Structure 1
């Protein structure tokens, strides 16, 4: 089953935009809140070379594609591409 993980922080308008989009499209997701946890930002740095949010991970079985670009169009493209690969 495909999983979506949203790395976000309190007060991030881009993060809220991503979560709203997922909710409106009835896509279940899990949130990793980096607000008061710099070690989570360290994980993002190791995985993707960035420390900012939102980052959306799409995948399954511990194999994920990370969406690090800002803008819903990047998320839409990644979701579509992932579903096409899994079809």
Structure 2
């Protein structure tokens, strides 16, 4: 059996797109962790270093040591990466 799917949603309070992503994952019964960047510029600094952006949502999806990120807004972008990783 393969390693469990890991999903991390970088988000902030009041972000409509972030809530859309979380709702989609809940509906698909995909467990995820949240990193809240609200009032945490140091966490936004991490996003800037890793992906060159400071906005959210950013979704990291992977198994084991292989991860892909979703840096473009929209459920279709999330679905593409989920299909590749699952």
The TM-score bracket by the shorter chain reads over 0.9
Contact 2:5–2:61, Cα closer than 8 Å, also in 1? yes
> Relative to structure 1, is the Cα distance of residues 80 and 50 closer, same or farther in structure 2, using a 3 angstrom cutoff?
same
Unpaired runs of at least 5, structure 2: none
Q: Is 1:79 paired with 2:82?
A: yes
Normalising by structure 2, we get a TM-score of 0.92
Q: Secondary structure at the match of 2:59?
A: strand
The question of 1:9 aligning with 2:12 is answered yes
Cα distance in structure 2, aligned partners of 1:69 and 1:50: 10
Offset from partner CA, 1:3-44 (integer Å, 9 cap, x none) = 000000000000000000000000000000000100100000
Q: Tell me, which stretches of 5 or more residues in structure 1 are unaligned? A: none
SS at match of 2:7: strand
Q: Which runs of 4+ in 1 moved over 6 A?
A: none
